[in-house]
Amino acid sequence: MVINARITGTGSCVPSRVVSNHDLAKILNTSDEWIYQRSGIRERRHVDAGVAPSDLGAEAALKAIDAANLKPGDIDLLLVTTLSSEHTFPGTAAFIQRKLNLGTIPALDLRAQCSGFLYGLATARAFINSSQYRRVLLVSVEVQSRGLDFSDRGRDTAVLFGDGAGAVVIEQSSDVERGIMAVNLHSEGEHAEKLWVEYPSMAQSPHVSPEIVAEGGVFPKMDGKFVFKHAVSRLPEVVEETLNQLHLKSRDIDWWLFHQANLRINEHVAGLLNLPLAQCPSNIDRYGNCSSASIPILLDELVREGRVSSGQLLGMAAFGSGFTWGGAIVRW
Ligand code: COA
């Protein structure tokens, strides 16, 4: 029997609180015009007090499980991708597992930042293809608003990131026509410090201190132009690699789901690859950059709007801190 890994359900959850560029301009030296022109973002969602990453993740997961016509007890592996973990340890997967009453199935976090969903897809597919697990729940969740620097010092990153969660159920299937057809992953640790949060750091003593906090060492630091330059070269590269692997052309793909880091990056990439923008849906204007949750939230929106039909080909690509990047092609 040919074993295939197929996405059978999607779900997402974003906080209800909308924070517009105008709201940020009241607390930061920024403007709607500056943010929108450079990133395509108009607003993002921020969690309210008392809401944890695992709350968003569990809600997205329940929707995905329901869409797959399953019950939580049917899942046999939980994978969680996040760069905004609920605690240093255990991983956020432990908290989502508890909220979903997933018993004693394995639950683990994968850390690949904005490429996390694609790393998760590859990991789920490998476990399914080896027949070790048959029904994998992949949850990508980010609560970034609590870790951003909302002073002028952090304005280059604080305006870009948002909170949200997306989830998929991936099942073993003997349907050879449909499923995750290819996933390619890459990373380049040489550029780790170009987009990172340095502290708390187990490489440093003290690993964090009041002085480090006061100096902003616990907030993200980014060399925006450097990240932009690498993203617009690595994304087309991995798209071509994935298309070539399956002997496909870009015109064969029905929908392109790119990581929602910056609309300008995606427009640039679409231009280089000659992709019609109408086939590159975007929600960055509403949610900002939700890191690993961006692609699964976008996927869930497309699916629930009835825009993806059976047999269509979906191309996905992401780039992020690490650097990490990846591409995937899925037959729906
Ligand atoms: N509002 C207003 N001004 C801001 C600002 C903000 N939120 N953030 C930074 N600035 C200022 C800077 O201080 C700088 O001022 P200076 O020239 O006086 O020093 C100036 O704006 C820089 O502007 P510009 O050169 O136009 O910035 P940019 O073209 O590099 O755009 C980014 C900045 C962050 C939008 C862009 O580099 C980017 O999108 N990079 C990729 C980021 C990304 O995708 N990260 C996530 C990857 S997963």
> 118 with 130, same domain?
yes
Q: How far is CA 82 from CA 91, 163, 232, 290, in A?
A: 9, 11, 23, 10
Report the pocket of ligand 1 as residue ranges, CB < 6 Å.
30, 34-35, 38-39, 114, 155-156, 159, 222, 224-225, 227-228, 261-262, 265, 289, 320
**Confidence (pLDDT) at 176:** 84
> 261 with 172, same domain?
no
The token pair at 256 is: 């392109």
**Confidence (pLDDT) at 177:** 87
**Confidence (pLDDT) at 2:** 75
What is the atom index within ligand 1 of the atom nearest the CA of 291? 48
**Confidence (pLDDT) at 143:** 98
> 49 with 159, same domain?
yes
Q: Contacts by 193-202 with C-beta closer than 8 Å and gap 24+?
A: 193/221, 194/222, 194/223, 194/226, 194/227, 194/230, 194/321, 194/323, 195/113, 195/220, 195/221, 195/222, 195/223, 195/227, 195/320, 195/321, 195/323, 196/220, 196/221, 196/321, 197/147, 197/221, 200/88
Choose which residue among 83, 228, 269 to substitute to test ligand 1 binding: the one with the highest number of ligand atoms within 8 A of its C-beta.
228
Q: Of all protein residues, whose CA lies closest to atom 42 belonging to ligand 1? A: 224
Catalytic residue among 4, 259, 266, 280: 259
Of 144, 161, 177, which one is at a domain's C-terminal end? 177
Of 125, 142, 177, which one is at a domain's C-terminal end? 177
For residue 266, give the CATH number of its domain. 3.40.47.10
290 part of the active site: no
Is the Cβ–Cβ distance between 75 and 102 less than 8 Å?
yes
Catalytic residue among 13, 114, 280, 290: 114
Of 113, 146, 177, which one is at a domain's C-terminal end? 177
What is the atom index within ligand 1 of the atom nearest the CA of 318? 48
Find the domain containing 120 and state its range. Answer: 4-177
Give me the residue label for tokens 């590859």: 122
Distance 117 CA to ligand 1 centre (A): 26
Q: Of all protein residues, whose CA lies closest to atom 1 belonging to ligand 1? A: 30
> 225 with 236, same domain?
yes
> 25 with 137, same domain?
yes
- Cα separation, 62 vs 71, whole angstroms: 8
**CA 188 to the chain's CA centroid:** 18
> 65 with 130, same domain?
yes
> 39 with 157, same domain?
yes
> 326 with 229, same domain?
yes
Q: What are phi and psi of 118, to 5 degrees?
A: -70, -35
> 168 with 34, same domain?
yes
Domain count, the chain: 2
> 155 with 184, same domain?
no
- As averages over each run of 10 residues, the pLDDT of the chain (332 residues) reads 91 98 97 98 98 98 98 98 97 98 98 98 97 98 98 96 98 92 98 98 96 97 97 98 97 98 96 96 98 98 97 98 98 97
Q: How far is CA 193 from CA 82, 123, 322, in A?
A: 18, 26, 8
> 196 with 225, same domain?
yes
> 188 with 301, same domain?
yes
Closest CA to 261 of 218, 304, 231: 231
Residue 200: is the preceding peptide bond cis (ω within 30°)? Answer: yes
**Confidence (pLDDT) at 3:** 84
Distance 265 CA to ligand 1 centre (A): 13
